[in-house]
Amino acid sequence: MDDRRHRFEVLVLPHLDAAYRFARWLSHSPTDADEVVQQAILHAFRGFESLRGSDVKAWLLAIVRACHLTALKQHQRRVAVPLPQEQDVQDGEVVVAVTPDPESNTTDRDEERILDRLISALPQAHREIMVLREVEEMNYREIATVINVPIGTVMSRLARARAALKFHWMQEAKREIHAVR
Amino acid sequence: MQCAEWLRIHAYFDGEGDVIGAGNIERHLERCAECSALLEDLNNVRTALRLDLTFASIPSALRARIMRSLDEESGVKSTRLSWVGRNTWRPRPFWQCALSGGGGAAIAASIAFFLLAPRLSNPMLDELVSAHVRSLMPDHLIDVVSTDQHTVKPWFAGHADVSPEVADFAPQGYRLIGGRADYFDHQRAAVVVYQHGSHLINVFSWAATKDRLPQGTTRNGYHLAFWKVGNLAYCAVSDTAWDELLGLQRLLQNLGVHEIGSH
């Protein structure tokens, strides 16, 4: 194995799980996510020289996000009609409906997992920032790198995303109370 | 009306104190009931999220596809199993090097297993064998590498839903090599990894339900032994011989009984 490949495996591949998780949260379906991760790793490998500094995870997730956006555009061109804003809501349902194979049972979307479902239903800007902060536990600077916005925007967008999640969660709770009555 | 400091409370909550001046915020929190309620709320939501969100690992088949595409990209002649062979000299953690030279073969066998094995009938057995085989893939075995039970056990507190018995049985031939969290039966199961000769044994543990545990069984060459201690269900999975697997089960059961008795 050449030296470049070796360095890539040591530096980048430890973040493969994070890349996969992020792609799953972004994509319409597990199949799309698989495709996005594969593309992203290949891009990362080809552009490995462009990696500066030590923030490998943020660098890789930024590539995953770029690949997702490219795939999304291609998808939109294919269907000719632009997807409506509510696509994110459908997103969650698509993920729920897929039967996982035994290996991917870690990605099971259980109906019981309300917050999981509510985050899936958030618009992408809110969903991705919640996932980067609460699942990947990245700090504001890293998140800013991934989604390519200033740190101040990370702060305000994250606060709004949390408020949105809280709102939907309360709605859900109210619905449940009504259902019991 | 929302307190004007609400944004800064979020940043403070996220440990971004230097961005916003943590000292000022703490003084503000002492005075502002609305903001202290917000902070408490943020804490509650985060706790709920940690319990609720799924933390997936990449499926091993996809990982294998990616490794093959890297091979093609870096000009390595790619045959169907070429990347498997290279596992023998890919950099890897010490525990893998510590295994006998059959490591590459074991990984090859586990891939063959994925390709060839039919779905097993009992979903629990299916999940356990699948999780065991997955753990044999590169970098999947261990999240916390330690031969010290006092390191492994506390690690589970933040990473799994249960806290199983952990002990090093090196004198009896079962060396503790680490622990891992695995998603299983809709919870984050704790997995303790032992090495016995050249074999690895995964001991899964999860909060037991009312359902009866399956009988000990053998699937695709892997033995599965089940037992319960208190409200914890355990399953040891390995390709080691039955007697040796049951030996570890006995050691762990005695440990559990002893601990329950002593409290």
| Domain boundaries along the sequence of chain B | 6-52, 60-262
Nearest to B63 among A16, A119, A151 (CB): A16
pLDDT value at position A107?
41
End-to-end CA distance of chain B: 53
**Best residue in A155, A166, A168 to probe B by mutation, most B CBs within 10 Å?**
A155
What is the per-residue pLDDT across B194-228, written as a single tens digit (0 to 9) for each?
A: 998 888 899 999 888 777 788 777 777 788 899 98
Of A100-104, B70-74, B110-114, B183-187, least confident by mean pLDDT is: A100-104
Check if the interface score ipTM surpasses 0.95: no
pTM of the model: 0.53
What is the per-residue pLDDT across B105-136, written as a single tens digit (0 to 9) for each?
A: 455 544 444 444 443 356 778 788 888 887 77
Q: Which two tokens stand for residue A69?
A: 């956006």
pLDDT value at position B152?
85
On the question of pLDDT at B18 being above 50, the answer is yes
pLDDT value at position B158?
78
pLDDT value at position A142?
94
Q: Do B90 and A151 touch (CB under 8 A)?
A: no
What is the per-residue pLDDT across B166-179, written as a single tens digit (0 to 9) for each?
A: 889 988 899 998 88
With an 8 Å Cβ cutoff, is A176 touching chain B? no
At B20, is the pLDDT very low, low, confident or very high (cuts 50, 70, 90)?
low
On the question of pLDDT at B236 being above 70, the answer is yes
Q: Do B53 and A151 touch (CB under 8 A)?
A: no
What is the rounded distance in angstroms from the CA atom of residue A30 to the CA atom of residue A97? 11
pLDDT value at position A79?
62
- Which A residues, 134 through 173, put their C-beta within 8 Å of a C-beta on chain B? 134-135, 139-140, 151, 155-156, 158-159, 162, 165-166, 169
Higher pLDDT among residues A52 and B48, named by residue: B48
User: Residue B194: helix, strand or coil by DSSP?
Assistant: strand
Q: Do B57 and A134 touch (CB under 8 A)?
A: no
Q: Which amino acid belongs to residue B22? A: A
User: Residue A59: helix, strand or coil by DSSP?
Assistant: helix
Domains of chain A: 3-180 (1.10.10.10)
What is the rounded distance in angstroms from the CA atom of residue A38 to the CA atom of residue A68? 11
On the question of pLDDT at A158 being above 90, the answer is yes
Over range B178-188, report the average pLDDT. Answer: 80
**Cβ-based contacts of B89 with chain A (< 8 Å):** 1
pLDDT value at position B138?
66
What is the per-residue pLDDT across B25-68, written as a single tens digit (0 to 9) for each?
A: 888 999 999 999 999 999 999 988 887 777 778 888 898 899 98
On the question of pLDDT at A96 being above 90, the answer is no
B212 within 8 A of B236, measured Cβ to Cβ: no
Q: Do A41 and B70 touch (CB under 8 A)?
A: yes
pLDDT value at position A175?
84
Across chain A, mean pLDDT equals 81
Q: Do B16 and A140 touch (CB under 8 A)?
A: yes
| H runs (alpha helix) in A47-139 | 56-79, 87-97, 114-120, 124-130
Gap from B258 CA to chain A (nearest CA, Å): 34
pLDDT value at position B202?
93
**Beta partners for residue B201, in sequence order:** B194, B238
With an 8 Å Cβ cutoff, is A4 touching chain B? yes
Higher pLDDT among residues A147 and B86, named by residue: A147
Q: In what order do the strands lie in the sheet with B144-145?
A: B144-145, B175-184, B187-196, B199-207, B232-238, B222-229, B217-219
Higher pLDDT among residues A45 and B219, named by residue: A45
Q: Do B57 and A133 touch (CB under 8 A)?
A: no
pLDDT value at position A128?
96
At A108, is the pLDDT very low, low, confident or very high (cuts 50, 70, 90)?
very low
Element (H, E) at B184: strand B175-184
B197 within 8 A of B214, measured Cβ to Cβ: no
On the question of pLDDT at A98 being above 50, the answer is no
- Beta-carbon contacts of A106 under 8 Å, excluding residues fewer than 6 positions away, are B54, B55, B56, B57, B182, B183
Q: Which stretches of B11-146 are assigned E, i.e. beta strand? A: 144-145
On the question of pLDDT at A112 being above 70, the answer is no
Over range A88-101, report the average pLDDT. Answer: 39
